[in-house]
Amino acid sequence: MRGEVAVICSQIIAFSLLFTSCEGIAKEKKEVYANKEGQVRLQDDYYDYINGSLIQKKQIPADETGWNYFNEVSNQAEKQLNDELKHIVTHRDEYEKNSSEYKIASIYLTAKDMERRDLVGFGDLKPYINRLLCSKNISEYLKAMAVIQKDLGKGSLFALEAQADLKNSNQYALYIGEPNLMIGKEGFTRDYFEDRREAYKNYITEILKTLGEKKENVVKISEKIYELQEQLAKEALDAEESGNPSVIYNPLTKEELKNIFTNIDILGYLTDSGLDNYQNYIAVNPAVLKTVNQYLKEGNLSLLKKYSAFILVSNYSGYLTKEIQDDNQNFVQILNGTKEKPSEEKTWSRITQELVPMEFGKIYVEKNFSAKDKKKIEKMIDKILMAYQKKIEGLDWMSADTKTEAKKKLDCMTVKVGYPDLWSEELKQVSVKAPEEEGVFINNVLNIQKTAAKRQQEKMNKPVDKSEWGMSPQTVNAYYNPSANEIVFPAAILQEPFYNRAKSEAVNLGGIGMVIAHEITHAFDNNGAKYDEKGNLHNWWTQEDYKNFEKLNEKVIEYYNQYEIIDGYKVNGKLTLGENIADLGAMSCVSDIVGNNKTKLRKLYTQYAKIWACKYNKEEQLSRMNSDPHSPGKVRVNAVLSSMDKFYRAYSIKKGDRMYVAPKDRVNVYE
Ligand SMILES: [Zn+2]
């Protein structure tokens, strides 16, 4: 969630997003984009030419890490939903007690009741903590962990999550994910993250104190917890590997699982966690699990108990006492460089919205999204899919056999626009208590999560639910889900500056059209290309075509490696490959639709440059550089356009201009 450290990635197999959303910011910093309009020639720096003066004017809010249109639109949605929330709260008594509205109001009112939160402390989380801390041996410790996994769906030494089996996309498999490292693998290794490491140690110390650890011991214990994570970080996957299905798909038989976890009864643990009935168990990173196993010894019992209790409390820090909430926010501020914490008002509203995102999504859609827009967008998607068929047909490096398969994949692609066909009824099953009924925030939160965890367990013997959405409608983003072969566009991205039905086709193609084509291209990027039309990992390429594809990928990596991010740091071409392929393919596709009219092409490129305008503080830039699979906004614009032949014609770019790249050095896998 925003303003907190996400403890376990909610999605072990990541979707390919359009954009990585940032957490709020701002440190004093001389802007890299110091150009005022007129000072820079578009032939030298198209991004700065279009966005320079706007970026200069934009102020980064004190509680945010940066500015871009994605965040701006997202903040508008949050504010609007906050108004709706306030309305519901004011009129609470007009709703039935079991209605979503009444429950939402109760969640919010208990979130706000800091006095009660302080008084109750850990609330219903307490028995879970106690059981962990009181375990007398590894076996009891694992039983305590399994109850947390079963009831709340949370792990600490590894994550367990049901997701579509990548080789059989209709069936769920249980994924055994990596441990939660809190500051990421890079946080432990990069020189320039020293302040993060110190802040993290301090944070562990503060949380241990709230757990009643004696003052004289806390520093020593937090050092040990830190060391444990540092060891695990050594085996953790690099950011550039974590999306690669060839790396993360490691199916294990029960026997093989036992061979990894030689120190414990892993099958018993899965049974106690209610997760023992899967056809397939898949380790995301077997090497790190072997390291986890080495720690699962009686001699480490005290360390493990405290580590898991710390992670558990940290997971819930936003819902507990003021002290714990502050500890977390102070730590997060060091990570993201924000000048101020979000106001309490904002925090209560935000956490309420994030706890039941689909309930708020329904409200958002009712207020903002018309059936007319949905139809228009669907029509646009059809047109872009047709253009993509043509594009595939015209590729000179791909044989007819592979083209047939690629076109089949396009034909079978599922399209989701705006909001889900069916709204989740989950909140109906959740017991939420209002303040008058002695309702306590943390208990309400735990009840929401218990219902979600139960649903996760119920998944195991059913076919994969393809109607599910991985994003709420009020999210300003889009994604391609490779194991469903689907592209998804939430309602909130279907507005300015991405889409405006009153504007010309060329402008909309530079905004939402590019977004749509970007998600389509993910089906054929370095990772997406490994999945077939049904979303299964299965090779549909001829050997020669795949070799050609890999050669083109290498060229894209080298091309992006040359672009600078900040202060001498260059783009990591390997980490950003999939996103770069998607940007290049998308712009090539929408340029095809626009044709050769210079005025229209200019409109297209202007809008494209506009949607990627952004400004971040130093901390955010460093975080992104290490883990964001997307290139920075400026590179997304300039690197892509410098590789588009039509861009050269639209603006008469010539040798000697800084945007100029020699034709032989231009890249595009799908051109
Ligand atoms: Zn993407």
3-state secondary structure 221-262: HHHHHHHHHHHHHHHCCCCCCCCCHHHHCEEECHHHHHHHCC
Find the 576 Cα to ligand 1 centroid distance in Å: 10
CA of 318 to the centre of ligand 1 (A): 30
Report pLDDT for 9: 34
Residue 511 Cα to ligand 1 middle (Å): 14
Q: How many angstroms separate the alpha carbon of residue 582 from the centre of ligand 1? A: 6
- pLDDT(151) > 90: yes
- Beta-carbon-side half-sphere exposure of residue 88 (alpha carbons within 13 Å): 25
Query: Helix, strand, coil % (nearest 5) of the chain?
Result: 60, 10, 35
Give the model's confidence band at 518: pLDDT under 50 very low, under 70 low, under 90 confident, else very high. very high
Residue 639 has pLDDT above 90, yes or no: yes
- pLDDT reported for residue 2: 38
Q: How far apart are CA 356 and CA 28, in angstroms?
A: 36
Ligand 1 centroid – CA 628 distance (Å): 11
Is residue 334 a part of any domain in this protein? no
Per the domain annotation, does 395 fall within a domain? yes
Ligand 1 center from residue 477 Cα (angstroms): 10
**551 alpha carbon to ligand 1 midpoint, in Å?**
21
* 484 CA distance to ligand 1 middle (Å): 16
d(CA 118, CA 321): 5
- Residue 663: phi and psi, rounded to 5, are -50, -40
In the predicted structure, residue 7 carries a pLDDT above the cut 60:
no
The rounded Å distance from CA 522 to ligand 1 centre is 7
Give the residue from 280, 254, 279, 250 showing the smallest Cα distance to 269. 254
How far does residue 272's CA lie from ligand 1's centre (Å)? 38
Dist. CA 242 → ligand 1 center (Å)? 15
Q: How far is the CA of 147 from the centre of ligand 1 (A)?
A: 37
Q: How many helices (H) and strands (E) does the chain have?
A: 29, 12
Cα–Cα distance for residue pair 564/50, rounded to 1 Å:
19
Encode pLDDT of 302-319 as tens digits: 999 999 999 999 999 999
Residue 653 included in any domain? yes
Length of the chain: 671
493 Cβ partners below 8 Å, 6+ apart?
A: 18, 73, 475, 476, 477, 478, 499, 512, 515
> Cα–Cα distances in Å, from 228 out to 168, 224, 232?
36, 6, 6
The CATH number given to whatever domain includes residue 576 is 3.40.390.10
Residue 220 lies in a domain: no
- How many A from CA of 569 to the centre of ligand 1? 22
461: pLDDT confidence band, cut at 50, 70 and 90? Answer: confident
- Distance from the CA of 409 to the center of ligand 1, in angstroms? 18
d(CA 492, CA 472): 9
Residue 546 belongs to a domain: yes
Distance from the alpha carbon of residue 461 to the mean position of ligand 1, in angstroms? 32
pLDDT tens per residue across span 414-424 = 999 999 999 98
| Residues contacting residue 386 through CB under 8 Å, at least 6 positions apart | none
For 507, residues 6+ apart whose C-beta sits below 8 A from its C-beta are 500, 603, 604, 606, 607
Tell whether the model's pLDDT for residue 223 goes beyond 60: yes
CA distance 353 to 351: 5
Confidence of residue 566 (pLDDT cuts 50, 70, 90): confident
Distance from the alpha carbon of residue 519 to the mean position of ligand 1, in angstroms? 6
Q: How far is the CA of 610 from the centre of ligand 1 (A)?
A: 17
Non-local (6+) Cβ contacts of 527 within 8 A are: 16, 243, 244, 245, 482, 578
CA distance 580 to 557: 9
How far, in Å, is the centroid of ligand 1 from the Cα of 376? 22
Angle between helices 577-594 and 633-641 (to 10 degrees): 50
Ligand 1 centroid from CA 460, angstroms: 29
Query: 68 pairs with which residues across the strands?
Result: 614
**Cα 128 to middle of ligand 1, angstroms:** 39
Distance of CA 43 from the midpoint of ligand 1 (Å):
27
Q: Which two tokens stand for residue 112?
A: 């706000």
- C-alpha of residue 131 to centroid of ligand 1, in Å: 43
pLDDT tens figures, 48-62? 999 999 999 999 999
Q: Compute the distance from residue 427 Cα to the ligand 1 centre, in Å.
A: 31
Confidence class for position 13, pLDDT limits 50, 70, 90: low
Tell me what pLDDT residue 76 has. Answer: 98
Q: How far is the CA of 18 from the centre of ligand 1 (A)?
A: 4
**517 C-alpha to ligand 1 centroid (Å):** 10
| 182 CA to centre of ligand 1 in angstroms | 24
Distance 544 CA to ligand 1 centre (A): 26
Give distance in angstroms: CA of 583 to centre of ligand 1. Answer: 8
CA–CA gap between residue 450 and residue 149 (Å, rounded) = 10
Q: Rounded mean pLDDT of 220-233? A: 97
What is the model's pLDDT at position 23? 40
The separation between CA 38 and the C-alpha centre of its own chain, rounded to angstroms, equals 37
State pLDDT tens for residues 613-635: 999 999 999 999 999 999 999 99
Domain that holds residue 596: 31-59+384-418+497-665
Q: In what order do the strands lie in the sheet with 160-165?
A: 160-165, 168-176, 281-283, 250-252
CA of 416 to the centre of ligand 1 (A): 16
Q: Is the pLDDT of residue 14 over 90?
A: no
Is residue 635 domain-resident?
yes
User: What single-letter DSSP state applies at residue 297?
Assistant: S
Please state, for a pLDDT cut of 90, what percent of the chain lies above it: 90
Q: Helix, strand or coil for residue 386?
A: helix
Give the pLDDT confidence of 361-393 residue by residue, as tens digits: 999 999 999 888 899 999 999 999 999 999 999
> Is residue 66 a contact partner of residue 600, using CB atoms and an 8 Å limit?
no
Tell me what the mean pLDDT of segment 68-86 comes to: 98
| Cβ–Cβ under 8 Å, residues 646 and 603 | no
Query: Could you tell me if residue 610 is inside a domain?
Result: yes
584 CA from centroid of ligand 1 (Å): 11
* CA 231 to centroid of chain Cα atoms: 25
**pLDDT confidence bin for 662, thresholds 50/70/90:** very high
Q: How far is the CA of 619 from the centre of ligand 1 (A)?
A: 22
Neighbours of 34 (CB within 10 A): 12
Report how many domains make up the chain.
Answer: 1
Residue 16: pLDDT band (50, 70, 90) is confident
Instruction: Calculate how far, in angstroms, residue 482's C-alpha sits from the geometric centre of ligand 1.
Output: 12
- Closest by CA to 590, choosing from 574, 573, 611, 571, is 611
pLDDT of residue 6: 33
pLDDT at 500 over 60: yes
Q: Is 548 domain-assigned?
A: yes
Query: 479 C-alpha vs ligand 1 centroid, how far in Å?
Result: 7
Cα-to-centroid distance, 80 and ligand 1 (Å): 27
The larger pLDDT score, comparing residue 602 to residue 12, is at: 602
Measured CA distances, 614 to 52, 58, 180, 606, 621 (Å): 10, 9, 30, 15, 11
**Any idea what DSSP says for residue 665?**
G
Categorize the per-residue pLDDT at 37 as very low, low, confident or very high, splitting at 50, 70 and 90. very low
Q: CA–CA distance from 547 to each of 198, 326, 397, 521, 542 (Å)? A: 46, 53, 10, 19, 9
Compute the distance from residue 20 Cα to the ligand 1 centre, in Å.
9
Nearest CA to 185 out of 557, 623, 664 is that of: 623
CA of 526 to the centre of ligand 1 (A): 12
Compute, in angstroms, the gap from residue 118 CA to the centroid of ligand 1. Answer: 42
In the reported structure, the alpha carbon of residue 16 is separated from the centroid of ligand 1 by a whole-number distance in angstroms of 5
Q: What is the pLDDT of residue 20?
A: 77
Distance CA 86, CA 582 (A): 40
Q: Please tell me which residue, 27 or 85, carries the higher pLDDT value.
A: 85
User: Which of the two residues, 440 and 19, has the higher pLDDT score?
Assistant: 440
In the predicted model, what is the mean pLDDT of residues 96-116? 97
What spacing in Å lies between the alpha carbon of 629 and ligand 1's midpoint? 8
Ligand 1 centroid distance, CA of 640 (Å) = 14
